[in-house]
Amino acid sequence: MLPTVNVDAMVAFLTELLNIPSPTGDTDQAMAWLEETFASTFADMPLTHKRTPKGLLVTHWPGKQQDAPRGLTAHVDTLGAMVRQIKKNGRLRITQLGGWSWTSVEGEGVTIFASNGQTYRGTILPTTASIHAHTSKERNAPRDDTNMEVRIDAHTTCEDETKALGIRVGDVIAVDPRVEVNDNGFIRSRHLDDKASIACIYGAMLALAEAGLQPAQDSYFHISNYEEVGHGAATGFPPNLTDLISIDMAVVAPDQMSDEYSVTICAKDTAGPYHMQLRRELEALAEANNLRYATDIYPFYASDGEAYWQAGGNVRVGLVGPGVDASHHYERTHRDALENCAKLLLAYLLSE
Residue 283: the pLDDT is: 98
Residue 312: the pLDDT is: 97
CA distance 143 to 275: 39
Residue 89: the pLDDT is: 98
Q: Which of 149, 227, 228, 260 is catalytic?
A: 227
**What mean pLDDT comes out for the span 186-212?**
98
Residues 6+ apart with CB under 8 A from 209: 41, 42, 44, 45
**Could you read off the pLDDT of 314-342 as tens digits, one per residue?**
999 999 999 999 999 999 999 999 999 99
**What mean pLDDT comes out for the span 44-61?**
97
Please report, as a single letter, which amino acid is at residue 172: V
CB contact at 8 A, 223 and 75:
yes
> Is 227 annotated in the active site?
yes
Residue 186: the pLDDT is: 98
CA distance 103 to 137: 17
Residue 166: the pLDDT is: 98
Using a 10 angstrom Cβ sphere, with 0-12 exposed, 13-18 middle and 19 or more buried, the burial of residue 350 is buried
DSSP structure class, residue 270: T
CB contact at 8 A, 73 and 304:
yes
The rounded Cα 196 to chain-centroid distance in angstroms is 7
Residue 296: the pLDDT is: 98
Residue 175: the pLDDT is: 98
**Could you read off the pLDDT of 19-29 as tens digits, one per residue?**
999 999 999 99
The neighbouring-strand residues paired with 73 are 222, 246
**Could you read off the pLDDT of 223-266 as tens digits, one per residue?**
999 999 999 999 999 999 999 999 999 999 999 999 999 999 99
CB contact at 8 A, 6 and 41:
no
Report the chain's mean pLDDT, rounded to a whole number.
97
DSSP for 305-352, written as a single string: HHHHHHTT--SEEEEEEEEEESTTSSEEEEHHHHHHHHHHHHHHHH--
Instruction: Calculate the alpha carbon distances from 236 to 49, 73, 196 in Å.
Output: 12, 10, 21
CA distance 177 to 65: 41
